[in-house]
Structure formats: C-alpha cells, structure tokens
Amino acid sequence: MYKSKYFRLLLLLIMLLPFQAFVQESKVSLNGYVKELYMFYSPENPITGTDLNYLSTNIIHNRLNFKWYTTKKLTTAVEMRNRLFFGNLVNDFPDYQETVDLDNGLMDLSWISAQGKSWFIHSIIDRAYLDYSSGKWQIRAGRQRVNWGVNFVWNPNDIFNTFSYFDFDYEERPGTDAIRVQYYTGTTSSAELVCKPGHDSIHSVLAGMYRFAQWDYDFQFIGGQAGNDWVLGGGWSGDIRGAGFRGEITHFEPRNDLSVRATVASVSADYTFSNSWYIHTSLLYNSNGKTGKAGGMDMLFNPNMSAKQLSFARYSLFGQVSKPITPLFSGSFSGIVNPSDGSFYFGPALTYSLLNNLELMLTGQLFFGDEGTEFGEIGQIAFGRLKWSF
C-alpha cells in the first residue's frame, strides 16, 4: 500500500516538471513552519465503550511550501503537511488514524509513513499545481484552493473545498483537484470556469463565476453543477460607513432523486474602532436546517461538511470581539448560538508573539446545551500551540 502511494507521489512530481526545466532565469522559494499543538478534550458524557473521562493528544506539525518560478509566465507549486500524532486519543481510538489518512482527490496523496500503538506520522500533499499566466488569461491545473467564499465564517459559495470554522489549526484550508481558467475582462472584473473531476458524478463539480465591481462593492455570480445538484448563487463585499458588509447565497436544485432542494445564505458585518477594538457578527440560514433540537456534531471524526450543509440548524448566529492588548499580546472572544435549541459555542483565545517568527496561542472550544441539541453533547476542548515560521 505504501509503495503504491509513494509511486503516485513520484508520478505527480514528474508530471509537474515543465519543459523549461533548464531555464536559467528560474527562481525557487521554500518556506513553512513547525508547530506543536496540545489538545485536552473533556466530553460532556463518558466516552462510550471506555472508562475514559477525557482525551488528550499532541500534534507536531511541519509544513513545507515550495514554489518554482520557472519562467515569467509559469509557476510550479508543491505544498505538504507532515504531522506526528500521539496521545491517548490515538491509543484508545484506532479508527482515528483512518479519519486523518483521508484524501478525497483524484490521486491519493495522503499516507502514513510510520506508526506505533499510540502514535503515527501522517503526510499529505494539499497543493500541487502548475500556474500559467499570459495577458488577461490565467490557467491553473492541479491540487489548489478555489476560494469563492467572501465571508469569514460560513461560505455557501465555497462549493469546491468547504472548510470548518472549528478547524482553526489549518490556516491554508483544504484544496481540490481541478482545472481553473480565469479571464480578466477588466481591471476589476473577471470570468472563470472551474472543473473538478471526480471518480463519479457525485464527487464532480463544474461551475463558473463572474466577478465585477460596482458602487464601491465587489459582486460575484456563480452557477453550474455540484454533485447531485444544480447550483446558482452570488455574493458581495463592501462597506457601510467604514464597516465591512459581506454576504453570499447559494441555491441547490436537485438533479436526481438522490438530492433535496436547499438554499443556504450568510451575511456578515465587521468593524475596527479607533482604539483597535474589532467586532464581527454573522448570520447563517439553511433552509434544510432543523428548527428544534439539531442533533450533535462530531468534532473529532471530521463531519462530512459541504456548502449545502454548513450547520444542522435552520439559523445560526456568530459574534466575535478582539483587541491587541499590547503590540505583542492580543485576545479575542467568539461565539456561535443556535437560537432554535438554545445551544451555543464559546471560544476564548490569547496570542503572544515571543519573537518575530515565534508565536504562542492558548484557546478553547467550549460547547453548551441540553441533550440532543447541536452543541449540547460535545463538551469542552482546550488547546495550546507554539508556532515557529521560517
């Protein structure tokens, strides 16, 4: 199994080598980071089938970002993350490894290179593409991030690579295997077509977007096919008296009996005061969400998120306040409320810059609510992270 995955990796790297391999003007950049993340999880109820009342894990995470500016028009990029997991979460839940070693792309570029009873090392290539730019055209082929969302928390327009707000340790966010063609129709307008082929039609996406500026706002319209649905939507970003104002909406119309109709929308506003206080609020609407008890989330085993289901609730409310206490020390508080079942999330965070490239962060993800509610049966999670960038 491992040989097969290494062969796929080698094949990918060979495919990425452009014909201009011997161009003397080419330039190379390499950067990344190393960080250590500790997690302590106290579930709301005892863990089924065990005598454990808590779970803990450590993750030592290395990221490498490689770019080769092969010519003035062509760029080759390969980026990967390598993580060492250890702790009783790994020891007592062998299935946890399978949820980490997961790659939904056309090529399986995820592998476990070493493992023991209570630890394993996982690697994945989440960016690997060729980018060609010439005049008004830009073509990118390979594993990349197609970022169509405009909001900070919930992105109904992000039909290619949806991310979870709670996955704060993945700053780069997921990528997707696709071919992306962009044509810049003007200084502030562009049209693009993205094809994400899958192993079947359920995992395939073909959609286009047109983006333009008007009245000091940026607007976008999207349409196409995503899995079993036809999609149609749009978004905007601008400001009202200095406050950021953004929104996006996507309608999913079934292509067959395997899907259901849904409309998902989010709107947000944020503002930075003269004394550096920052506030941010957002609202999410999901026509298929529940108005009663929404049921529990699976925080540890990666819920199958999509732009069609960003939450189990019909309505969700988000709020955040933050402030730099000193030039090196900052704090923030965020929260999400399900107004239908009364459950809520609270997330305090403190960040301190030890050096120019060394950062310490302490944060929590605290969930509260009655049994059967969206956040009521999760519990509390505390994190500590030390990050060194290079």
Which one, of 128, 121, 144, lies nearest residue 61 by Cα? 121
If pLDDT is split at 50, 70 and 90, which confidence band does 48 have?
Answer: low
Output the pLDDT for position 105.
87
242 in a structural domain: no
Would you place residue 46 in the very low, low, confident or very high pLDDT band (cuts 50, 70, 90)? low
Our count of domains for the chain comes to 1
Confidence at residue 192, expressed as pLDDT on a 0 to 100 scale = 98
Q: Tell the residue number behind the tokens 């953004």, with chain if given.
A: 246
Residues near 378 by beta carbon (within 8 Å), at least 6 away in sequence: 43, 44, 296, 297, 299, 367
The residue-averaged pLDDT of 120-143 equals 97
**Is residue 109 within 8 Å of 81, Cβ to Cβ?**
no
Block residue for tokens 């993750």: 59
pLDDT band at 339 (very low <50, low <70, confident <90, very high): very high
Q: Is residue 274 a part of any domain in this protein?
A: no
User: What is the model's pLDDT at position 179?
Assistant: 97
- Lowest mean pLDDT of 245-249, 300-304, 315-319, name the range: 300-304
pTM, two decimals, is: 0.87
Domain contains 107? yes
| Interval 354-385: pLDDT, tens | 999 999 999 999 999 998 999 998 999 999 99
Q: Is the pLDDT of residue 292 over 90?
A: no
Reported confidence tier of residue 52, pLDDT bands at 50, 70, 90: low
Is there a domain that residue 191 lies in?
A: no
**pLDDT at residue 23 tops 50:** no
Determine the structural domain holding residue 21 and report its residue range: 1-68+80-124
User: What's the confidence (pLDDT) of residue 24?
Assistant: 44
Q: Does residue 298 carry a pLDDT above 70?
A: no
Considering the domain boundaries, does residue 102 fall inside one? Answer: yes
Q: Residues 295-305, buried b or exposed e (16+ Cβ, 10 A)?
A: ebbebbeeeeb
Q: Flag whether 63 is in a domain.
A: yes
- pLDDT at res. 3: 45
Average pLDDT of the segment spanning 272-291: 96
pLDDT at 200: 84
Q: Please report the pLDDT score of residue 159 as a whole number.
A: 96
Q: Is residue 390 part of a domain?
A: no
When the pLDDT of each residue in the chain is averaged and rounded to a whole number, the result is: 90
- What pLDDT, on the 0 to 100 scale, is given for residue 324? 96
Between 303 and 39, the more confident residue is 39
Q: For 227-261, how does the pLDDT look when each residue is reduced to its tens digit (9 = 90+)?
A: 999 999 999 999 999 999 999 999 999 999 888 99
Measured CA to CA, the distance from residue 191 to residue 197 in angstroms comes to 20
In a domain, 172, yes or no: no
